[in-house]
Amino acid sequence: MPIESARVAYSAGSTVMKSFISKPEKAEFSFPGVMVFPEWWGLTEYLELRTKQLAELGYVAMAVDMYGEGKIASDPAEAGSLMNGVLSKMEDGEARVLAAMDFLKSQSEVDANRLGAIGYCFGGAIVLHAARKGWPLRAVASFHGALGANHQAKSGDVHTKILVCHGEADAMVTSENVQEFSREMDRLGADYVIKTYPDALHGFTNPATTALGQKYGIPVGYNESADRQSWEELKDFLSEHL
């Protein structure tokens, strides 16, 4: 499907957010909208690629700037500082998610009643936070995302369908974290699925991850099989729920 892409800007409070949107070319009817939330690095070319892939499948997809002004981290120390700056002041992070949602909904090609979100690493934590908050998203998917809660949801709060794609060799999100998340979702009565991939490290979907792990000495790496399998599962998941 031919697509068109553009950089877009909007505000969240006093912060200018510089995101990236892709959509089917010359759309004559409405499509589901999907927000794409970044790894801790920020809105990189990798996130733009995923956004384009979603547009080719028939979604209006937007890679979301979560740091403001399109900031991209140059190393893990800066990435951690930017990410923790959002997570430690979640009211600002929430405002940025909601501003992105409002902007996406405002696009004439988007069916505002068919919204979803996917996220990688830090972005995975963001989409799960949105689900816990009960925001109007039909489906969210987390890839090698942190699973801990920044918001204590109550039973019945989570009405969003949830897909979690997790690497079994992930040293940053452990099997105990997965089990704790599963217990939380069961307690909340959430509709969720957890897919696991043998030998897959943290960051398994991003081909650049292996080199970054070697450069900075962090336990991350690309896994082609897990990447391919999780993408196919995402396609089925979004097709069913959006």
How many structural domains are present in the chain? 1
Instruction: Assign residue 195 the CATH number of its domain.
Output: 3.40.50.1820
Say if residues 151 and 184 touch (Cβ distance below 8 Å): no
* Helix, strand, coil % over all residues of the chain, rounded to 5: 40, 25, 35
State the angle between helix axes of 90-105 and 76-87 in degrees (0 to 180), rounded to the nearest 10. Answer: 90
Confidence band for 151, pLDDT divided at 50, 70 and 90: confident
- Give me the mean pLDDT over the 54-78 stretch: 97
Please report the pLDDT score of residue 29 as a whole number. 78
pLDDT surpasses 90 at 27:
no
Spatial distance between the Cα atoms of 81 and 19, rounded to a whole number of angstroms: 20
pTM beyond 0.85: yes
**In what helix (H) or strand (E) does residue 98 lie, and over which residues does it extend?**
helix 90-105
Say if residues 65 and 43 touch (Cβ distance below 8 Å): yes
- Give me the mean pLDDT over the 80-86 stretch: 97
- Give me the mean pLDDT over the 188-195 stretch: 97
Spatial distance between the Cα atoms of 58 and 193, rounded to a whole number of angstroms: 23
- Give me the mean pLDDT over the 147-173 stretch: 95
Max distance between CA atoms of the chain, in angstroms, equals 49
pLDDT surpasses 80 at 172:
yes
- Give me the mean pLDDT over the 199-214 stretch: 98
pLDDT per residue as tens digits for the range 135-145: 999 999 999 99
Spatial distance between the Cα atoms of 24 and 40, rounded to a whole number of angstroms: 28
Confidence band for 205, pLDDT divided at 50, 70 and 90: very high
Please report the pLDDT score of residue 153 as a whole number. 92
Range of the domain at 26: 3-241
